[in-house]
């Protein structure tokens, strides 16, 4: 099993250097591919100076995050691709831990681990919650999308995820039309090709900072994209799971409630009312909201997803 670490970057040289350093320091050696979206800040000179330590691919124009990921997937030669955004970085044992889990369950096509949220100085702020019991837990392909729909199966952001390269390419890569959530959109389609693995260890670090792209997206736009994602997940549900899934109108109402509460937390009362009405009148939406919050806070296997092999 060979890993390729694909790092995407644009004009973030200082942060990129940290990401590259973490990739080169892996206990399990891997190919390191850096896709540069036409940076103008010295990124090219830095990467060329590294010589054959990295595979450097430079786009002539900025092709967006999705375009950079697709380019990296095509250039990479590994069986598995570990994705890294330039403002995030890996723990030294990340690939070694993922490879050991995958060896126990080779039917997997997507593998996710926990990540620590850190500030720009590298100080820990929080950690993503575990998924399922034990050190490593797998979910069969037919149950993945149902779990994603109800938010019991959260793969997380690119720094948490590795995907099998053939599944990523066969699923069509990342959608260039997505302005956000392009990662989750990809996980939906990759999951058509095999099982999912979750590793309950901190394998990576995700930087929380004002320059993060998601922080700049208006809440109504984030809600609209969230709805699109849920509708796409719904389309991938096997018939047996679709029969027991909430109706899409209930899911949409639940999402309105979720983003209304986000606005309320930001003390934006007018926005909270705009996003939450009339969803606040739906008892089913409130039940989904409470259920999702319980699953996020509990390390136990969510009841909606069947318990399967726990890997020690």
Q: Which of 156, 182, 209 is the last residue of a domain?
A: 209
Q: Which of 146, 177, 209 is the last residue of a domain?
A: 209
Query: Is the pLDDT confidence value at 298 over 60?
Result: no
Mean pLDDT of the chain: 92
The closest of 72, 82, 101, 69 to 4, measured between CA atoms, is: 82
- pLDDT value of position 212: 58
- Asked if residue 169 lies in contact with residue 85, where contact means CB atoms within 8 angstroms, the answer is no
- pLDDT value of position 123: 85
Distances from the Cα of 49 to the Cα of 124, 135, 277, 295, angstroms: 31, 39, 56, 47
C-alpha triplet 125, 266, 247: angle, nearest 5° = 95
Domain limits for position 233: 217-297
Residues 100 and 185 in one domain: yes
Phi, psi of 52 (to 5 degrees): -80, 10
When mean pLDDT is compared across 71-75, 143-147, 306-310, the lowest value belongs to: 306-310
Query: Is the pLDDT confidence value at 36 over 50?
Result: yes
Asked whether residue 308 is assigned to any structural domain, the reply reads no
H or E stretch including 112?
strand 108-118
The predicted model gives 263-289 an average pLDDT of 95
Query: Is the pLDDT confidence value at 247 over 90?
Result: yes
- Alpha carbon distance, N-terminus to C-terminus of the chain: 20
H-type alpha helices, 118-236: 141-149, 165-170, 182-190, 219-235
Residues 54 and 160 in one domain: yes
- Asked if residue 180 lies in contact with residue 213, where contact means CB atoms within 8 angstroms, the answer is yes
The closest of 106, 36, 18 to 75, measured between CA atoms, is: 36
Query: Is the pLDDT confidence value at 86 over 60?
Result: yes
Q: What is the CATH number for 199?
A: 3.90.550.10
Query: Is the pLDDT confidence value at 68 over 90?
Result: yes
Residues 292 and 271 in one domain: yes
Q: Directed axis angle between helix 269-276 and helix 219-235, to 10°? A: 30
Q: Which of 182, 209, 236 is the last residue of a domain?
A: 209
The number of distinct structural domains making up the chain is 2
């Amino acid at each position: 099993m060979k890993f390729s670490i694909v790092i995407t970057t644009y004009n973030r040289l200082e942060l990129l250097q940290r990401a590259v350093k973490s990739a080169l320091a892996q206990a399990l050696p891997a190919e390191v591919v850096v896709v540069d979206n036409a940076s103008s800040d010295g990124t090219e000179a830095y990467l060329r100076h590294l010589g054959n330590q990295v595979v450097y691919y430079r786009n002539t124009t900025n092709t967006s995050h999705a375009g950079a990921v697709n380019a990296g997937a095509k250039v990479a030669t590994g069986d598995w691709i570990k994705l890294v955004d330039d403002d995030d970085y890996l723990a030294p044992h990340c690939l070694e831990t993922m490879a050991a889990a995958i060896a126990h369950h080779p039917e997997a096509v997507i593998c996710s681990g926990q990540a620590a949220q850190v500030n720009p100085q590298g100080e820990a702020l929080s950690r993503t919650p575990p998924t399922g019991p034990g050190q490593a837990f797998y979910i069969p392909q037919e149950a993945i999308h149902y779990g994603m729909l109800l938010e019991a199966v959260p793969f997380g952001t690119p720094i948490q995820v590795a995907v099998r390269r053939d599944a990523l390419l066969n699923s069509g890569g990342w959608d260039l039309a997505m302005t956000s959530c392009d990662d989750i959109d990809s996980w939906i389609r990759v999951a058509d090709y095999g099982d999912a693995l979750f590793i309950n260890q901190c394998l990576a670090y995700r930087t929380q900072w004002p320059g993060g792209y998601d922080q700049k997206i208006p809440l109504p736009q984030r809600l609209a994209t969230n709805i699109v994602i849920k509708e796409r997940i719904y389309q991938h549900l096997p018939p047996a799971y679709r029969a027991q899934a909430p109706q899409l109108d209930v899911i949409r109402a639940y999402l309105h409630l979720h983003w209304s509460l986000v606005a309320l937390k930001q003390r934006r009362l007018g926005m909270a009312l705009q996003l939450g009405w009339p969803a606040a009148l739906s008892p089913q939406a409130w039940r989904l909201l409470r259920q999702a919050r319980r699953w996020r806070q509990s390390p136990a296997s969510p009841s909606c997803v069947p318990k399967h092999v726990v890997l020690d």
